[in-house]
Amino acid sequence: MTRIAHSKHFWGAAFPERGTFMNRKTKGAIAVAAGAILLLGGMGSYALWSDAEDVAGGAIAAGAFGLACPAGTWTDISGDVPEVTINPATDLMVPGDTWRYSANCTVTATGKNMEAALSVTGIGTGSTTPATTYVTTTTQVGTGAPNTAVVVSNAQVLPVTVTVAFAEDTPNLDFTNGQINVSGMQIMLNQVRPS
């Protein structure tokens, strides 16, 4: 009977030793498990516990804002003549005249952080000479500083004055027979952010 020799070549090259074979098997299993974990983590298919709770409250609503002014009163306050009530539809301004409109205007202002500034629009001329060259306007609330923003609140009554001045140093005969038309004047209340 012929004995088969167990050569190192037979067991070492053709078949790896048992310890080497097991190590490769273990390493392969670890690699597969690691890949699965990375795949699941990347896809976000699992998570720790979480919860959500409704918050009591309603929709966010915007406030309201507005200004209502009556017809008001016009007065000649030129300073070198007695103050007198005027009718801007029939009285005529001349260089050096200063007229003042006065009215108690009611504010609508609902919401927080409400400040506002007054401005005037709609004062025009019937002349080709620009009104801004000779006519200036100033707005004021009560005894506050002219052309300054004020804090406003809902239903507040603002004593508003608008001063219209015809420049005394208007040269030569510039703007003679020109017309300063205040019939279309508008007082604007413009919201501003608190300073």
- Those residues whose C-beta lies under 8 Å from the C-beta of residue 163, and which sit 6 or more positions away, are 77, 98, 99, 100, 101, 137, 138, 139, 140, 146
The beta strands (E) that lie in the chain are given as 65-68, 73-76, 84-85, 98-109, 115-121, 124-125, 135-141, 150-151, 157-166, 180-181, 186-192
Residue 18's pLDDT band (boundaries 50, 70, 90)?
low
CA–CA dist 132, 41 (Å, integer): 71
Taking Cα atoms as reference points, which of 184, 186, 158 lies closest to residue 88?
184
Residue 34's pLDDT band (boundaries 50, 70, 90)?
low
Residue 37's pLDDT band (boundaries 50, 70, 90)?
low
Per CATH, is 65-192 categorized as 2.70.40? yes
Does residue 46 contact residue 40 with C-beta atoms inside 8 Å? yes
β partners of residue 58? none
CA–CA dist 176, 174 (Å, integer): 6
> What is the pLDDT, as a whole number, of residue 129?
46
How many helices and strands in the chain, by DSSP H and E?
3, 11
Can you list the alpha helix ranges (DSSP code H) found in 71-193? Answer: 131-134
| Count of other CB atoms within 10 angstroms of residue 55 | 5
Q: Which residue has the tokens 């239903």?
A: 155
CA–CA dist 183, 189 (Å, integer): 18
User: pTM for the complete prediction?
Assistant: 0.60
Burial per residue of 3-40, b for 16 or more beta-carbon CB atoms within 10 angstroms, e otherwise:
eeeeeeeeeeeeeeeeeeeeeeeeeeeeeeeeeeeeee
> What is the pLDDT, as a whole number, of residue 126?
53
Residue 10's pLDDT band (boundaries 50, 70, 90)?
very low
Is it the case that residue 131 has pLDDT exceeding 70? no
> Which residue would you say has higher pLDDT here, 112 or 107?
107
Q: Which residue has the tokens 């409400």?
A: 114
